[in-house]
Each structure stands twice: as structure tokens, then as C-alpha cells.
Amino acid sequence: MKLAAAAYPLDWFEDWAAYEAKISAWVAEAAAAGADILVFPEYGAMELSSLGGPNVAADLEGALREVSRHRPAMEALHARLAARHGVHILAASGPVFSGERPVNRASLFGPSGLIGHQDKAIMTRFEREDWDVVPGNGLTVFETELGRVGVLICYDSEFPLLGRALAEAGCEILLVPSATETLAGFTRVRVGAMARALENQCPAVQSPVIGVADWCAGMEENTGRAAIYGPPDRGWPPTGILAEGDMAVPGWTYAEVTLDAVREVRDDGGVLNFRHWAEQEDRLSVSICRAEAPQTA
């Protein structure tokens, strides 16, 4: 299959038709290139706050609620595009007010429609302290005709046990939508995604928001590059990087993978991180060894 990761800039829209045209063009481009799974970034949906006008988009709470208001139409659009092009799409995540406070939700679509949702599990400081976005309830492995897919939204990719839980539940492909203001933030998610690919011996697809959107509260600056990682092992690139785009350049990055390659490296790789994971449990006892104080004469 061919995986596609978007390096995605936020745009201002005067109306819904402009947003629909943008998403339709992005999906059509990737589909024309032969992509099977298209990954859009974390908080890429925040550009929908522009539909409320400049005052709404510049107000954090107003922006969150405006984006959530457009969620049904956004999901319907992605369902139509997935069906039209015969592809799977992880739509850009965004706030959804299913309760008093929003979750950060990414939705996966296939040719037959909505497959399901993944809500972010662990909130960053800005989500906790500024946005008041709350975590979702658990993780999901999505059974698709292309394989078993799991989603680790940005910060979630930095926690090994989340990726491991997905892998133990059968996940073969990890999708990592991200949104990071700084190079340091992007690097943390990049390192996390690469580590999860190594530990679980499977591909990880990172799609970031990029560029400046000074009109959008909380999304003013965005740093990253799209990339697709794998285990640095037999049958995979020795760097663990299957493909990566240029920093801060919008567009798609593609890589081809097979589930046979995932199974082969898990069964007979140069190392067997996936199989040997449980051996850590027998080696977690820690002792403290202190140097003796020097003897005085």
C-alpha cells in the first residue's frame, strides 16, 4: 500500500465552499498519486475557525466552539471524498464538544464511510492550562481492508505504553498527526514516532501542521515536516526513515509498505523488539549503588 503524510498549512476561508475546495484538491492529488491511506495533521481543523470571522478566530474559546460546530459537515465531506476516490483518510483532528469541555478528535474514513474516532489520550500543557481540552477514553485499533490501524495524536506518540497497547491489540500501521509550534516540539514527536516504529516494528506516519496562521488563536506558528518511519532493520531503510518532506514545505510525502514486511521483521528481524518487549518485566528491579565516602587519615 502507499501511505501519504500531509505537511499542511492552515488557510483562511471566506466560506465553506473554499474549505471544501481545498480538502477536495488535497485528497484528489494524493489519490492520483496512488495513495491508499491519507493522513492529515492534528488541529488541522482549526482553520475552520475562520468561518466565524476574525473576532471568533482570534478568540481561543470562540475558535474551539466554531470548529466543533462545523464537525458534522467536515465529517460528511471526508466520507464523500473517501468514497469517491476509494481511499482511507485520517481527517485533521480538532475540538469536539461531546461534553462540557472538548476532546481533540481524529476521525478515520474508508470507502464505505466513517470507520471510527480516536480522541487524544494525554494532553499537553497548552491543552491542559490554556485550551482546557480533555482526554478521551482509551485507544482503538481500526480494522480496515488495508490492515489494522492505530492513531497516536501528537503527544500520545511520546508515551511508549500507548503505542505498545495498540501493537499488542494487533495494530500494524501507526498514524501520528501532529501540531507543534517549535522545532523542539516537532523533534519530540518525530523521535517518539520513530521510537514507536522501532519498538513495535511497524510503520509510523507523521503529518504536521506547518506555517504561520497569526489569525488563528493557539495556532499562530507551526513547525514540522511530513515523514514516514519504519523499524531500522532487515527490509527497511537503515535510518528508519522511509520518506520525508522538506521542513515547512506544504504537500504530500509518500512511501510504500507491505504488511508482509511488517510480519517478516517482527518474526525474523535483526532484532526482535516486538517479541522481546515482555522481557523488560523481569528486569525492572532497580538497586541503588552509592560510592563509599573516602577514608580520612
Residues 73-120 have pLDDT tens digits of 999 999 999 999 999 999 999 999 988 999 999 999 999 999 999 999
**What separation, in Å, do the N-terminal and C-terminal C-alpha atoms of the chain show?**
73
Place of cell 460528511: 76
Please tell me the distance from the alpha carbon of residue 126 to that of residue 212, in angstroms, as a whole number: 18
Please tell me the distance from the alpha carbon of residue 272 to that of residue 247, in angstroms, as a whole number: 32
Please tell me the distance from the alpha carbon of residue 155 to that of residue 193, in angstroms, as a whole number: 10
* Tens of each residue's pLDDT in the chain, 297 residues: 999 999 999 999 999 999 999 999 999 999 999 999 999 999 999 999 999 999 999 999 999 999 999 999 999 999 999 999 999 999 999 999 988 999 999 999 999 999 999 999 999 999 999 999 999 999 999 999 999 999 999 999 999 999 999 999 999 999 999 999 999 999 999 999 999 999 999 999 999 999 999 999 999 999 999 999 999 999 999 999 999 999 999 999 999 999 999 999 999 999 999 999 999 998 999 999 999 877 776
Q: What is the pLDDT of residues 46-83, one digit of tens each?
A: 999 999 999 999 999 999 999 999 999 999 999 999 99
The backbone torsions φ and ψ at residue 287, rounded to the nearest 5 degrees and listed phi first, read: -110, 155
Find how far residue 283's CA is from the centre of its chain.
Answer: 32
Closest Cα to residue 229, out of 246, 248, 249, 244?
244
Please tell me the distance from the alpha carbon of residue 100 to that of residue 97, in angstroms, as a whole number: 7
Read off the pTM.
Answer: 0.97
Please tell me the distance from the alpha carbon of residue 200 to that of residue 196, in angstroms, as a whole number: 6
For 255, the grid coordinates are 512511501
Give the domain ranges of the chain: 2-283
Q: How many CA atoms lie within 13 A of 169 on its CB side?
A: 18
Beta strands in 54-172 (DSSP E): 88-90, 94-96, 103-110, 113-119, 141-144, 147-151
> Domain 2-283 has what CATH class?
alpha beta
